[in-house]
Amino acid sequence: MEILHKYETEIEEWFLKDLNQFIGSNTDNLEYEFGISPQDPNEPDCCYFNVGIIKTIRNSTNGIVFSAKVNTCFKVRNNNKIPTIEFCFDIIDSGTFEFAKIFNDRKKQTHISNKNIAIPMIEDFRNEIQKTINFWLRNIRNTGIN
Q: Rounded CA gap, 65 and 62, in Å?
A: 7
Q: Any bridge partners for residue 109, and if so which?
A: none
Structural contact between residues 98 and 11, judged by C-beta atoms closer than 8 angstroms: no
Angle among Cα 51, 12, 133 to the nearest 5 degrees reads 20
16-62 tens-digit pLDDT: 999 999 999 999 999 999 988 888 888 888 889 999 999 999 999 99
117-145 tens-digit pLDDT: 988 899 999 999 999 988 888 876 666 54
Whole-model pTM: value is 0.87
Domains recognised in the chain with CATH numbers = 2-128 (3.10.420.10)
